[in-house]
Amino acid sequence: MINKLILSASIAVSTLFVGCTTPNNNHVIKPNVSLTNTYFKALSLNGAKVEVFEKEAYIRFDTKDAITGYLGCNSFFGSFTTQDKNISFENVGSTKMMCPNMKTEDAFANVLQNTKTYEIKGETLNFFDEKGQKISTFEAVYF
């Protein structure tokens, strides 16, 4: 009788502990970050992974419709407008230093010229061209 009672209590306690554990799920759904006042590091441009040579390429959107960032060698600035998921960049300018590797620089400038729409999912920002093809991926970075 005592053995049955101990066995029953052990099963009940084991069930309680197993039932209260959280499954090991590494996929955490994060809320969408804001387009403005978020530092977005470039991960891919025109389908190619971004290589960092001096400093990482990034874009930051100001609440006053201004953009700033780093193309991979030169800083850039300009303005942007959005309506729903449409986005356009205007009056974009940059510093004009000559750098040993202009690959990221040229790809980023091309993305800014060809972006028509954007999408934010969690901490990821994607830009799309006029055909709806993804042309770049950025990730939010926190300091």
SS3 (DSSP) at 32:
coil
Question: What sign has the CA pseudo-torsion 46, 48, 53, 55?
Answer: positive
Specify the pLDDT at position 21: 46
pTM of the predicted model, to two decimals? 0.79
Residue 5, pLDDT > 50, answer: no
- The residue-averaged pLDDT of 113-123 equals 98
Which amino acid is present at 98? M
User: Does the pLDDT at position 4 exceed 60?
Assistant: no
CA 59 – CA 39 distance, rounded (Å): 6
Mean pLDDT (the chain, rounded): 86
Residue 28 has pLDDT above 90, yes or no: no
What count of other Cβ atoms lies within 10 Å of the Cβ of residue 81? 10
